[in-house]
Structure 1
Amino acid sequence: MANRLATATSPYLLQHADNPVDWREWGEEAFAEARRRDVPVLLSVGYAACHWCHVMAHESFEDAGVAAAVNDRFVAVKVDREERPDVDAVYMSATTALTGQGGWPMTCFLTPDGDPFYCGTYYPRDHFLALLDGVAEAWAERRDAVEQQGAAITEAVTQASTRLTPDRLDDDALAAAARALAREADPVHGGFGRAPKFPPSMTLEHLLRHHARTGDPEALRIVERACEAMARGGIYDQLAGGFARYAVDAAWVVPHFEKMLYDNAQLLRVYLHLYRATGSPLAARVARETAGFLLTDLRTPEGGFASALDADTDGVEGLTYVWTPAQLAEVLGPDDGARAAETLSVTPEGTFEEGASTLQLPEDPDPGWWAGARKRLAEARSARPQPARDDKVVTAWNGLAIAALAEAGVLLGEPGLIAAARECAELVLGLHLVDGRLRRASRGGAVGSAPGVAADHGDLAEGLLALHQATGETRWLDAAASLLELAQSRFGDGAGGFFDVADDAERLVSRPKDAADTAEPAGQSALAGALCTYAALTGSPRHRAAAETAVAAAGSLARQAPRFAGWTLAVAEALGTGPLQVAVVGPDDEARAALGRVARGATSPGLVVAVGEPDAPGVPLLAARPLVDGRAAAYVCRGFVCDRPVTTAEDLAAALRV
């Protein structure tokens, strides 16, 4: 049997390369083989850091009996959802429609034309074998009914993707969304909903912006409660920084241990903006540590950022991260070990499994003692077996990282973070742009073949615009402009919204179009946000209008389910305030730097900042902004109407408070 996955760029596909199942990559060749053999396609979708994907692989895909059943009666196709979010979106919609829920691994049975007729997620081995028998029997004996069901499911998925009607998000709608979120917020543990509980990154950003625009104190309280609970819980890595994917309980104690780039990039930005709004030392600490985690644990040799750390270590979930009181004492000695156990909520009974505990930090310990203890525990943990790393570089998620690191470098005064953002941007633009078109991912300096989706264009443009504001370099503004032009021409739906894939992308059974913000911004809201920022930086009314119509395209979803429209609502808050443009001009000296620090400390959701020499080439905000009496000056403009320039940090702060 040919090893068809051996040359794949996806670490997830490579994990399955030696399975006895005769896997193929997604493509016309697989479906042509299904038509030739007159058998269904078994589609299995997952990702490298997925715990239950590993379980199903060990139980079923590595089993000779299961492999024989699959190879005899199906064409087996393996897909990395992170490389092919378009394929994942289409069949996840079908899975959710058929079962009422989704997740990974996703298991779908398709006709040779790609129509899904039976879908599910994880199946234990015996159940999976029985399912294979049942599907094969139905295909052989009830073909017409199976094909009719597949066609009906495809039609339902297509209709669902175009069901939203545009609805403008005015001040009343934004206030109503904030009230709805306040009703849904967990007043005890922070966040939203019950177990499992996910970090609500985009909703927290939305509420921070709503507070900045309106002064709503409850919006800020929700953010502060959630951010403190997560930062002190087991979902946060108290030794090395960074957040796990979600908590399996409502109190953030026990995480699902995989760490994703998109979570940490977004949460870094949330904690950074909370620090900017409140001066919270906790928020500042978590922002610094999470930025450190990105650079230490996820940065690739090429300068990009890897997708994830695995949930498992040597097949055991949490093996790297959990502790017993005895293990703490072994590293720190009996006295400091007991103190650490109390500090970190490590109990004899354990908060996880088999008497082990995750690490929590309910209160800030003595900083001198904790710095030494934390360092020793981190060094001891680094000697343990470590989780695998999915080291593919995904365009969209690296765009989120560029934005977060560029802003963190400015607000935390750490130029090394800006340098890391710049290096990442150079890698993505240099490697992922092929013949003028954006690719989805690369690995080890080799770009993959999967085309970029809408989110790749929107998130990367967002990151480049943040980097432009941090550095004053025009190349990032120009690159963002090109990405946005391409997205508008290739992804637009003709009514102000955006499809997830380009008009010349591979034809799937349905062209995906999902406006929901779930774990990361939807392609539509990502593009809306970047269009909004670009319009503010350049004064372009065309891009401003495009941002407004893109937000309205998801307006009905935002009104009905604000928790699933976090980034759409965040962009709407930015549109509702401005823009607020601050141009700081002067020679590169302390006076200009002081004005820049004040400008960047403003919390307005519509804020954009340009700092540089007067009339700096290619920076529209600095055009026709002269020095004042030979001194550095700041120009504050609201809604494209400008105040008189100011020359002191105190006067600028007063102008921004108006």
Structure 2
Amino acid sequence: MDLEFFMDNSKLAALLELDRSALPSDGGPTFNRLIFARSPYLLQHAENPVDWREWGDEAFAEAKRRDIPLLVSIGYSTCHWCHVMAAESFSDHEVAGLLNRSYVAVKIDREERPDLDDFYMTAARALTGGGGWPLNVFIDHDRRPFFAVTYLPKQPRHQTPGFINLLANLAALWRQQRALVTSNADEICRSISVLAESPAAAGLDIASVAAKALQQLTEMFDRQYGGFGSAVKFPMPTYLLFLLSRNRDSSVPAMAMALQTLEQMAYGGINDQLAGGFHRYTVDRQWQIPHFEKMLYDQAMLIMTYAEAYKASGKRLFLDTAVRTAEFAMHELMNGAGGFCAGLDA
């Protein structure tokens, strides 16, 4: 199975220019309803056998009419695991048949609807403790989530459950134990409400929260290679900016953690040493083996972080890295209309 980029640029351009006026509302035999979308990510799924719909009242009316739940699948056009799941599951006729019978399937581009992405990602974190894309959320007719997962293979693999089995099990749960579905949705929504409270509203002292955050980052810190954790490594610029800000409190360990991490990243494979710009993450502890997509938000945040590191340390490496990353963003991500593209695909 080809797991490369789900749709090449020439094909995507052809779909964008396609005359849709003669197509039926469901897309006809060649396409699904996403053929009427303008989002590149949604158009990547326009030829799936899944009867995808865009987010809107029509999808919820259909779910109520058939008394079935909705699967809301959220991703973006340069997401590696979105492409993998599209190839393994959403292009598969067995999965599509189960989805079309038992769910109303909705596709969302997180770049178009960051509000929905934020809400349902919060739900996923409340439910599982983690998140990522593709984000697949199972919701009721009132738009309340009752289950969420990220990437799953079609069939069980090692200790990972299969997506097709999950679809069947949750469809049965909806039919046979609706009260449990409602209870799950209630609990998740309560958790979201708690997470949405500001520290002040929750009665927390900001100084104690900052001290606790510093303690946790210190415990997570990789003292050999920098960064946090010992497996997949993300840049985590917000962590690094927080540590750099502790310099005002004369926290030498915090500063040292930030500067070591930024130096390792600057010299590592996560920083494209040829073309410039930072990849989204590395699959190894040493920052050497990247997943090759490059996101605009990472470039913007890392430019700021390296500039702050230079201001705090005076080390030329950090200034050069900030400038080189800014040049990459200006040359490779800026479009002809004066805006910026959200990212480059792997």
Shorter-chain TM-score tier: 0.7 to 0.9
Indicate how the Cα distance of structure 1 residues 99 and 192 shifts in structure 2: closer, same or farther if over 3 A, else same. closer
Instruction: Give the drift of 1:38.
Output: 1.5
Instruction: Give the drift of 1:189.
Output: 0.6
- 1:27 aligned residue: 56
Instruction: Give the drift of 1:293.
Output: 0.7
Per-residue CA deviation, residues 445-493 of structure 1 (Å, 9 max, x unaligned), is: xxxxxxxxxxxxxxxxxxxxxxxxxxxxxxxxxxxxxxxxxxxxxxxxx
> In structure 1, how many angstroms separate the alpha carbons of the residues matched to 2:37 and 2:221?
43
What is the TM-score when the length of structure 2 is the normalising length?
0.81
> In structure 1, how many angstroms separate the alpha carbons of the residues matched to 2:209 and 2:148?
37
Aligned with residue 233 of structure 2, among 193, 197, 202: 197
The percent of aligned pairs where both chains have the same amino acid is 49
* 1:169 is aligned to 2:198: no
Paired residue type of 1:191: G
Instruction: Give the drift of 1:163.
Output: 7.6
Aligned with residue 95 of structure 2, among 38, 63, 66: 66
> In structure 1, how many angstroms separate the alpha carbons of the residues matched to 2:150 and 2:270?
25
Paired residue type of 1:209: S
> In structure 2, how many angstroms separate the alpha carbons of the residues matched to 1:185 and 1:66?
41
> In structure 2, how many angstroms separate the alpha carbons of the residues matched to 1:47 and 1:143?
32
Give matches, 1:1-80, under 5 Å.
Answer: 1-2=26-27, 3-80=32-109
Report SS of the residue matched to 1:242: coil
* 1:275 is aligned to 2:310: yes
Instruction: Give the drift of 1:56.
Output: 0.9
Answer whether contact 1:241 1:290 (CA < 8 A) is retained.
yes
> In structure 2, how many angstroms separate the alpha carbons of the residues matched to 1:59 and 1:177?
39
Answer whether contact 1:240 1:289 (CA < 8 A) is retained.
no
Indicate how the Cα distance of structure 1 residues 177 and 120 shifts in structure 2: closer, same or farther if over 3 A, else same. closer
Instruction: Give the drift of 1:305.
Output: 1.1
Aligned with residue 334 of structure 2, among 287, 299, 306: 299
Instruction: Give the drift of 1:29.
Output: 1.5
Indicate how the Cα distance of structure 1 residues 30 and 252 shifts in structure 2: closer, same or farther if over 3 A, else same. same
- 2:292 aligned residue: 257
Indicate how the Cα distance of structure 1 residues 32 and 180 shifts in structure 2: closer, same or farther if over 3 A, else same. closer
Q: Which has the larger radius of gyration?
A: 1
- 1:146 aligned residue: 181
Indicate how the Cα distance of structure 1 residues 208 and 254 shifts in structure 2: closer, same or farther if over 3 A, else same. same
Report SS of the residue matched to 1:237: coil
- 1:382 aligned residue: none
> In structure 2, how many angstroms separate the alpha carbons of the residues matched to 1:77 and 1:294?
32
> In structure 2, how many angstroms separate the alpha carbons of the residues matched to 1:157 and 1:284?
40
Aligned with residue 94 of structure 1, among 113, 120, 123: 123
Give matches, 1:552-563, under 5 Å.
Answer: none
Instruction: Give the drift of 1:80.
Output: 1.6
- 1:124 aligned residue: 153
Aligned with residue 108 of structure 1, among 104, 126, 137: 137
Answer whether contact 1:241 1:286 (CA < 8 A) is retained.
no
Indicate how the Cα distance of structure 1 residues 215 and 92 shifts in structure 2: closer, same or farther if over 3 A, else same. closer
Q: CA RMSD in A?
A: 2.4
* 1:234 is aligned to 2:263: no
Paired residue type of 2:244: L
What is the TM-score when the length of structure 1 is the normalising length?
0.44
Paired residue type of 1:145: L
Per-residue CA deviation, residues 29-60 of structure 1 (Å, 9 max, x unaligned), is: 21011111221111111121211111110111
Instruction: Give the drift of 1:117.
Output: 2.4
- 2:282 aligned residue: 247
Per-residue CA deviation, residues 384-423 of structure 1 (Å, 9 max, x unaligned), is: xxxxxxxxxxxxxxxxxxxxxxxxxxxxxxxxxxxxxxxx
Per-residue CA deviation, residues 165-219 of structure 1 (Å, 9 max, x unaligned), is: 244435x8756755654454322111222221211312322333332x2444333
Indicate how the Cα distance of structure 1 residues 182 and 152 shifts in structure 2: closer, same or farther if over 3 A, else same. closer
- 1:320 aligned residue: none
Indicate how the Cα distance of structure 1 residues 190 and 70 shifts in structure 2: closer, same or farther if over 3 A, else same. same
Answer whether contact 1:110 1:116 (CA < 8 A) is retained.
yes
Answer whether contact 1:208 1:220 (CA < 8 A) is retained.
yes
Residue correspondences, number:
309
Indicate how the Cα distance of structure 1 residues 148 and 215 shifts in structure 2: closer, same or farther if over 3 A, else same. closer
Give matches, 1:395-544, under 5 Å.
Answer: none
> In structure 1, how many angstroms separate the alpha carbons of the residues matched to 2:88 and 2:210?
48
Instruction: Give the drift of 1:83.
Output: 2.3
- 2:242 aligned residue: 206
Paired residue type of 1:10: S
Paired residue type of 2:140: T
Indicate how the Cα distance of structure 1 residues 93 and 178 shifts in structure 2: closer, same or farther if over 3 A, else same. closer
Indicate how the Cα distance of structure 1 residues 301 and 139 shifts in structure 2: closer, same or farther if over 3 A, else same. same
Instruction: Give the drift of 1:97.
Output: 3.3
Indicate how the Cα distance of structure 1 residues 119 and 210 shifts in structure 2: closer, same or farther if over 3 A, else same. closer
> In structure 2, how many angstroms separate the alpha carbons of the residues matched to 1:215 and 1:280?
18
- 1:402 aligned residue: none
Indicate how the Cα distance of structure 1 residues 174 and 41 shifts in structure 2: closer, same or farther if over 3 A, else same. closer
